Structure formats: structure tokens, C-alpha cells
Structure 1
Amino acid sequence: MGAIELVLIRHGESAGNVAATAAQRSGAEVIEVGVRDADVPLSDAGRDQGKALGSWLAALPEDERPEAVWCSPYLRARQTAELAGLENPRLDERLRDRELGILDLLTSAGVQARFPEEAQRRSWLGKFSYRPPGGESWADVALRLRSVLRDLDDEEDGRRVAVVCHDAVILLIRYICEGLTEAELLDIASSTSVRNASLTRLVRPEGKGRWDLADFNAVDHLETGGAPVTEHAGDENNVHPR
């Protein structure tokens, strides 16, 4: 037996999301953030999203609310959980965002200009298999997520669990829990960006076996709560192998 519901929550819009989108649009090579990835805070819009999420959660019937919270240790995820009233989160480093190694803080233009051989290798291998020097592939992230999901099942038997994390982590949890193929995962990644503070629900009433997708990328709670809906997809040019 194990958990019966996973409520996957992407963190609210961060200062890094805003800076990365602006850099991509302007053709800049470097994303100017000023702090390491783990310390990037929410933007003002992200804080509003966290509060709207909290209002929605508070209005749920008690038998539908998450009974436990697991959270990425990155600041933007912790702030989202706090603003949403998700108390006593268990911080787990395996839920952190994907590490980009030498490509950290570079836009697509920056990778092409500074590491052209890596740009070619990334395009050839695709997002699932490409591992930047010093960083992780999506397959690497999936490996650490398999272990955290096993621990979550052991400790949250029969419970509904909120998981506050990052866009790639949400997609890879779906990949593991639903038994998706690499091609199916990359089709989703290439066509859909996981929106800030969105909700993705996986359910498994018996607490064992394959999970079913109940909701994906839902943001009705943001619109109802008067918070902006934001999308920051990052670089989606090298999803499928070429």
C-alpha cells in the first residue's frame, strides 16, 4: 500500500522565470538573476499565486485536503508552500529542479555561442537523454524521483499528499507514475508548458499499482482567486531527439 493521491504543485512565478523569459525574448546569452538557483525567490505575481492557491485549499472539504506536504528545498517552492498554508512541509533534495551544469544561466543563444558542440549534442540526444557537463538529464532526474516516490509511499500510506516542486519534476513524476514512454513524455513537454502554481492530480484509490491522471496543469483556482496565470516554458527547442 501507499499514498492514494498526489497533488503536484508547480511553484509560483519566480524572479528567475521572469528573467529567463526576458532574456530569451531579447536574444541575450545570459539570464541575469544574481543568486544561485536554489535561492531564487517568487516574483510579486508568484506571491499572489501562492495566496490564491491557499484560498482554494482552505475552501476544500476536509476529506479532500492534502494530509501531508513534501517540498523541494528551493526557496521558490518553500515560499509557495508557506503562502498556500501548506504547513510542516517535508523538504527533500530529490525534489529539486534539474541541474544544468555548465549551461546554467545560459539561454539557447548563449549555449549556441559559447558551447556549440553541446548545442549540437543536445539537439541530437533530445531533452530526456542529454546530460550537460556537471548537470543532469531528465533520465537522471527520473532516477532520483523513483526513490523519493518509494519513500513517500512507505511513509504516507493511505494519505493524500501535496508535492510542491518544479515543472520538469511534475512531468517526470507523471512519466513514472503513469508508466509513460519517453516519446509520450516528450510529446507532452513539447506541446504543454506547466503553468506556475498549477495543479496536477494523480489518484490511486487502492494505494497501489498504476496511477490515473485526474487533472493536469489546472489553474482555475488562480483565476477564481484573482491571481495572474503565467507560463514560463523555458527552452523547448530541443525536446525530441533529432
Structure 2
Amino acid sequence: MPAGWNAGAVELILVRHGESQGNVAASDAQAAGLDEIDVPARDADVELSDTGREQVQALGHALAATPEELRPDVVISSPYMRAYQTADIAVQTAAWPLTVRTDERLRDRELGILDKLTSIGVENRFPEEAERRRWLGKFYYRPPGGESWADVALRVRSVLDELNALGSGHRVMLVCHDAVVMLFRYVLEGMSERELLDLAAGTSVLNASLTRYVRPEGAGPWTLESFNVAEHLEQQGVQVTEHAGDASVHPK
């Protein structure tokens, strides 16, 4: 192990939460050309949809097949309900003897004044913000009262610092949100802004999907083993759902 590096986690599994009621409401509002998304609760309290619960149970059954010596010994979730439900149901279904912890740094990006609005709604109600978002691009645009992707990347870096000092041999599963998964890739792989936005423009993180990084020595760079894997849903006959974020990502 190189001098000066602490021993840390050897495996990192990133899970996007199962389909949420908010995902469904947002897709319906966008398809109908509405300004506002009819979400059932504040963002932190939005629960899984019925399909989302099926996805999470399928995820748990898939995780149950993991050999005991390769199972995560730490499971940490975003405190947002859809993520916590994903982690809790999956761990219980897999019959892992673990307690799910929460960490607010894994929460979804805060949208500020744009919360509950579709892209059409932003254009109609806050045209100056829509223009500012186009000019700055998705990475650096921070809506009033909200966060940019760069802000979320700072949270991700803080989490990774703790994983680097966790102690050798640990395998960690983090349950979070699509933007957070993307920003873990950005940080772990040393991407540029353009590389990240190119990835985001062509790929959405699937609900209840798995992304896996490894580093056998517990130090140094992480290696991406798999990204956005949802075969466990297809194999169990559960619907795979794709709820992408704003497709307009590059600065203009």
C-alpha cells in the first residue's frame, strides 16, 4: 500500500432508489405539458410507487444470492423516504443482518424555487432562470434556494473521504438518487464537466439499478466494474423504469 494512504473500503455499490410516486407524477406532468408536478408530499417524504416496491423486492432477492464473504457490511441510505424504503426493503428481503444507516449528504439535489416544476413550467414561470440554466449548463447552474451539481459533488467528496478512512476490507452499499450516482462517477473517475454532461445527456440511471466500484487494496483509485445494471429486474419479470432528469445539460 502506498505510503500516506489510509486503509479504506474495498467495494462500493451504488443503488438508485426504486420508482417513486414523484417519478410517476413528474413523467405524467411532462407528458401532459403541465407546468406543475402533482407530487403527493414534500420531496423528502415521497414514497415508492407500487412498481418501485416490486423493483426493490426483486433487488433484495438478487442481493440475497451474494456470497456471505462478499456481502456489504455497511448500508447507508439517503434519508429521503424513497431511498430509505429501497434500502430497508432490499436488506430485509435479502435477509442481511444489517441496520440501514442514513446520511443527509446522499440526499437528492435541492431544486429551490424550481421544485415541483416541469421544464415547461420553468420556462413559463421563470423565463430568466430558464435562460440562466441554458447559459451555465446543468453542472454549474444553481437555482435560487437550491443546489448545482457542483454543490452535490462536494457532498460526494466528503462521503468518499470517510470511506477512505473506514478501515480495510469493508464493502459499502449506498442507496441514493440518479444525480448522486452520476456525481460519484464524476468524482471517482476524475471526469471533466463535459465528460459528465455527455454521459448524463445520453444515459439515465435506472430505478433500482446497481453500479459497482472495486479497489482490492482498500486504497488508491477505484475501478468501475459495472454501471446502471438492472438485469435482476428483467430476470424476475419486474418492470424496468427510466425516469430521466432534465435533458438540457450542456451550457449554450
TM-score, normalised to structure 2, is 0.93
Partners of 2:10 and 2:170 within 8 A in 1: yes
CA distance in structure 2 between the aligned counterparts of 1:181 and 1:227, rounded to whole angstroms? 35
2:231 match: 220
Structure 1 partner of 2:4? none
Q: Does 1:116 align with 2:127?
A: yes
Supply the distance in 2 between the matched residues of 1:209 and 1:183 (Cα, whole angstroms): 24
Query: Which residue of 14, 27, 37 corresponds with 2:33?
Result: 27
Q: Report deviation, 1:156.
A: 4.9
Cα distance in 1 for residues equivalent to 2:48 and 2:39: 12
Maintained 8 Å contact 2:106/2:176: yes
Written as runs of structure 1 = structure 2, the 5 A alignment for 1:182-193 is 182-193=193-204
> What is the CA–CA distance in structure 2 between the aligned matches of 1:235 and 1:173, rounded to whole Å?
18
Q: Secondary structure of the residue that 2:108 maps to in structure 1?
A: coil
Q: Deviations over 1:123-163 (max 9, x none)?
A: 01110000000000000000111111112322253211100
The secondary structure found in structure 2 opposite 1:214 is: strand
Q: How many residues are aligned here?
A: 241
What SS does the corresponding residue of 1:230 show, helix, strand or coil?
coil
Matches within 5 A, 1:199-214: 199-214=210-225
2 CA distance for matches of 1:122 and 1:60? 43
Residue deviations 1:99-132, cap 9 Å, x none?
A: 0000000001100000000000000111000000
Q: How does 1:42-57 map to 2 (within 5 A)?
A: 42-57=48-63
Distance 1:73 1:17 in 2: 17
Bigger shift: residues 30-39 or 82-91: 82-91
Alignment of 1:1-242 (within 5 A): 1-85=7-91, 87-236=98-247, 238-242=248-252
Change (3 A) 1:199 1:156: farther
Deviates more, 1:133-142 or 1:173-182: 173-182
Relative to structure 1, is the Cα distance of residues 150 and 140 closer, same or farther in structure 2, using a 3 angstrom cutoff?
same
Would the aligned equivalents of 1:15 and 1:41 in 2 still touch at CA under 8 Å?
yes
State the 1:207 CA deviation: 1.2
- Say whether the 8 Å CA contact 1:4–1:206 is kept in structure 2: yes
CA distance in 1, matches of 2:68, 2:137: 43
SS at match of 1:231: coil
Task: Give the residue type in structure 2 aligned to 1:109.
Answer: I
Report the secondary structure of 1:155's partner residue.
coil
Q: Percent identity?
A: 65
Task: Tell me the secondary structure at the aligned position of residue 70 of structure 1.
Answer: strand
Does the Cα contact within 8 Å between 2:8 and 2:165 map onto a contact in 1?
yes
Q: CA deviation at 1:173?
A: 0.6
Contact kept in structure 1, 2:72 and 2:172, CA below 8 Å: yes
Gaps of 5+ in 1: none
Aligned partner letter, 2:240: V
Counterpart CA distance in 2 for 1:181 and 1:100 is 23
The residue type equivalent to 1:175 in the other structure is Y
In structure 2, distance between residues paired with 1:157 and 1:107: 44
**Residue aligned with 1:175, SS:** helix
Q: Deviations over 1:6-42 (max 9, x none)?
A: 1100000000000000111111000001310000000
